[in-house]
Amino acid sequence: MPESQSETRKVRGDHCLNVFVSHELKSQLKELSQKYDRTVADMVRAVLRIGIPMMEGMSHAEEIMVREYIQLFRKLRQVKALKEI
């Protein structure tokens, strides 16, 4: 088998993910799955598809806020140092 095929070949079970959640979250997922006539796995997949972009956006915004806060803090420190001169 060529090397490129062996690199792209997926290992059986490599796509599986075990996640432990609270009883409340599991019951919410079960209720949603029953309400919309889907499996719990389908609901989890949908939540992950929707939630990942939201989490990426929130994390990016958090990085920007921290970076700007540090810049502001440094500027204030410089202004304070200038006032003391």
Q: Is residue 38 part of a domain?
A: yes
Q: What pLDDT, on the 0 to 100 scale, is given for residue 8?
A: 67
Q: What pLDDT, on the 0 to 100 scale, is given for residue 77?
A: 87
Q: Is the pLDDT of residue 49 over 80?
A: yes
Q: Is residue 58 part of a domain?
A: yes
Q: Is residue 5 part of a domain?
A: no
Q: Is residue 52 part of a domain?
A: yes
Residue 9 to residues 1, 2, 4, 17, 59: CA-CA distances in angstroms? Answer: 11, 11, 9, 18, 32
Q: Is residue 4 part of a domain?
A: no
Q: How many domains does the chain have?
A: 1
What is the tens place of the pLDDT at every residue in 57-71? 999 999 999 999 999
Q: Is residue 11 part of a domain?
A: no
Q: Is residue 9 part of a domain?
A: no
What is the tens place of the pLDDT at every residue in 6-40? 566 777 778 888 999 999 999 999 999 999 999 99
Q: Is the pLDDT of residue 2 over 60?
A: no
pTM of the model: 0.61
* Token pair 């500027």: residue: 75
Domain carrying residue 44: 19-84
